[in-house]
With several copies, the nearest count.
Chain A
Amino acid sequence: MDLSFESTTLDVPAIRRDFPILERETDPGVKLVYLDNAATSQKPVQVIEAMDSYYRHMNSNIHRGIHCLAEEATVAYEDGRKKIASFIGAESWREIVFTRNTTESLNLLAYSWGRANLKAGDRILLTEMEHHSNIVPWQMLASEVGVTLDFVTLTDQGKLDQESYSTLLEREPRLVSFTQMSNMLGTINPVAEMTEQAHRAGAVVIIDAAQSVPHMPVDVQELGVDFMVFSAHKMLGPTGIGILYGRKELLQEMPPFLGGGDMIKRVQLDGFTMNDLPYKFEAGTPAIAEGIGFGEAVDYLANLGMEAVHQYEQALTAYALERLEEVPGIQVYGPEAEDKGGVLSFIYNDIHTHDVAHILDSFGIAVRAGHHCAQPAHQHFDIDATSRASFYIYNVKEEVDQLIEGLYKVKEIFG
Chain B
Amino acid sequence: MDDFYRELIIDRYKNPQMRGELDPHDYSYEDDNPLCGDEIRIDLRVDADGLITEAAFTGKGCAISLASADLLVESIVGKTLDEIKTLSKDDITEMLGIELGPVRLKCALLSLKVLKAGVYGLDELEEELMI
Chain B residues near A266 (CB-CB < 8 A): 34
Q: How far is A186 from B62 in the complex, measured between Cα atoms in Å? A: 26
A94 and B127 form a contact (CB under 8 A) = yes
Chain A CB count within 10 A is highest, among B5, B103, B126, for B103
Chain B CB count within 10 A is highest, among A78, A353, A363, A384, for A384
Q: How far is A358 from B108 in the complex, measured between Cα atoms in Å? A: 13
Of A14-22, A68-76, A149-157, A164-172, which binds chain B? A68-76
**B14 (CB) vs chain A CBs: closest residue:** A415
Chain B residues near A354 (CB-CB < 8 A): 36, 61-65, 103-104, 107
A359 and B102 form a contact (CB under 8 A) = no
The one of A71, A72, A359 in contact with B1, judged by C-beta atoms closer than 8 angstroms, is: A359
Chain B residues near A309 (CB-CB < 8 A): none
A352 and B61 form a contact (CB under 8 A) = yes
Given A353-B36, A355-B63 in contact, is the A413-B102 Cβ separation under 8 Å?
Answer: no
B131 and A66 form a contact (CB under 8 A) = no
Q: How far is A166 from B126 in the complex, measured between Cα atoms in Å? A: 42
Q: Mark A337-373, 1 if CB is under 8 A from B, else 0.
A: 0000000000000001111001100110000011100
Q: How far is A162 from B105 in the complex, measured between Cα atoms in Å? A: 43
- Tell me which residues from 254 to 300 in chain A have a Cβ below 8 Å from any Cβ of chain B: 265-266, 273, 276
A265 and B5 form a contact (CB under 8 A) = no
Verify if B10 is at the interface (C-beta below 8 Å from A): yes
- Tell me which residues from 49 to 96 in chain B have a Cβ below 8 Å from any Cβ of chain A: 61-65
B2 and A27 form a contact (CB under 8 A) = yes
B102 and A74 form a contact (CB under 8 A) = yes
- Chain A interface size range: 35 or more
A413 and B10 form a contact (CB under 8 A) = yes
Chain A residues near B34 (CB-CB < 8 A): 265-266, 273
Q: How far is A273 from B35 in the complex, measured between Cα atoms in Å? A: 12
Given A64-B103, A70-B103, A354-B64 in contact, is the A362-B2 Cβ separation under 8 Å?
Answer: yes
Given A352-B62, A370-B36 in contact, is the A78-B2 Cβ separation under 8 Å?
Answer: no
The smallest C-beta distance from A139 to any residue of chain B, in angstroms, reads 16
Q: How far is A358 from B65 in the complex, measured between Cα atoms in Å? A: 13
Q: How far is A273 from B61 in the complex, measured between Cα atoms in Å? A: 21
Chain B residues near A124 (CB-CB < 8 A): none
Chain B CB count within 10 A is highest, among A78, A265, A354, for A354
The smallest C-beta distance from A216 to any residue of chain B, in angstroms, reads 29
Verify if B4 is at the interface (C-beta below 8 Å from A): yes
- Tell me which residues from 56 to 110 in chain A have a Cβ below 8 Å from any Cβ of chain B: 63-66, 68, 70-72, 74-75, 78, 92-94
Enumerate chain B interface residues (CB-CB to A < 8 A). Answer: 1-2, 4-5, 10, 14, 34-37, 61-65, 101-104, 107, 126-127, 130-131
Interchain Cβ contacts under 8 Å between A and B, 27 examples: A64-B35, A65-B103, A66-B101, A66-B104, A68-B101, A70-B101, A70-B103, A71-B101, A72-B101, A74-B103, A74-B130, A93-B130, A266-B34, A352-B36, A352-B63, A353-B36, A353-B62, A354-B104, A358-B5, A358-B62, A359-B5, A362-B1, A363-B1, A369-B36, A371-B36, A371-B37, A414-B10
The 6 closest A-B pairs by CB, nearest first: A71-B101, A384-B37, A354-B62, A352-B62, A362-B1, A265-B34
